[in-house]
Amino acid sequence: MAGPVSSQGAEKLRILCLHGYLQNAQTFSMKIGSVRRALKSRAEMIFIDAPHLVASSSAEDVSQLGGSPEESRGWFTWQDTEPGTRPSLAKQYLGWQESLNQLQQALVQHHPVHGLFGFSQGGTMTAMLLASLRELSKQGTLPHPDIQSCLQFAIMVSAFFPNDEEVASLLQQNQPTLPCLFVTGSGDAFVPPKRTQQLIDEGFRPQDIQVMEHSGGHHVPSCTGSFKQTVHLFVDNSRAQSSRNE
């Protein structure tokens, strides 16, 4: 069945969106309203909840991470640091395989999905999902034969390289082969740009990478001005490249 049609007459893209730690699908959708509006003519954005409810942290942590005090969720938890420590510092992740399974099934449920958009822990989970699909493809065990080939691009904001050795190995051994836009904040105290650069260096091919830095902190920047232009051009070019490869 054909999906929604854009104002240009082409079928709209579908983008699966992964929220950050302590957020949920609803709060993330609200927080990136400017991105939704900027891509309205091009894409349908699908927001899903991470499977793990996270014990409430301090109100300050929830606020700084853009989270929801009512229903805070995470794509993985950990056991090696004190409660309240941010996920980018942990070294032993828990529950990440369950999240990968859920995301793989979401790609089947919402098929075709053409793009991924992840923030913070959700950005790292986006990288993990891409690596897992690459691994399953090598093994011939994808849950749907076309879910990997349908993906045209990924956008990761404030994503970090995983400290967990097993997860890091997954990324290092299964580098994806699609265009990826990484967005960093020069004032991001939670995920400094060097943590995103480590993810790029360890988990991706240089020819697939585009990086944009904004002047703010740990958040998805408002989709106006240069960021809007960058996102539009990246999505349009990725779609055109995918069409040429068909």
Domain range annotation of the chain: 19-245
pLDDT at 82 over 70: no
**pLDDT at 155 exceeding the cut of 60:** yes
pLDDT at 63: 54
pLDDT digits (tens, 9 = 90+) for 171-199: 999 999 999 999 999 999 999 999 999 99
Q: What is the pLDDT of residue 124?
A: 98
Counting every residue written for the chain, the total comes to: 246
Q: Which residues contact 194 (CB under 8 A, 6 or more apart)?
A: none
User: Residue 164: which of 74, 101, 94, 83 has the closest Cα?
Assistant: 94
Res 205 pLDDT > 80: yes
Residue 1 confidence (pLDDT): 43
The yes or no reply on domain 19-245 and CATH 3.50.50.60 is: no
Q: What is the value of pTM for the model shown?
A: 0.90
Residue located via tokens 């699909």: 133
Confidence class of residue 55 from pLDDT cuts 50, 70 and 90? confident
Q: How far apart are CA 23 and CA 48, in angstroms?
A: 11
- One DSSP character per residue, the chain reads ----B-TTSSBPEEEEEE--TTB-HHHHHHHTHHHHHHTTTTEEEEEE--SEE-----HHHHHHTT--SSS-EES-EESSS-TT--GGG-SSEESHHHHHHHHHHHHHHT-S--EEEEETHHHHHHHHHHHHHHHHHHHT--SSTTHHHH--EEEEES-----SHHHHHHHHHS---S-EEEEEETT-SSS-HHHHHHHHHHHS-GGGEEEEEESS-SSPPPS-HHHHHHHHHHHHHHHHHHHHH-
Q: Give the model's confidence band at 95: pLDDT under 50 very low, under 70 low, under 90 confident, else very high.
A: very high
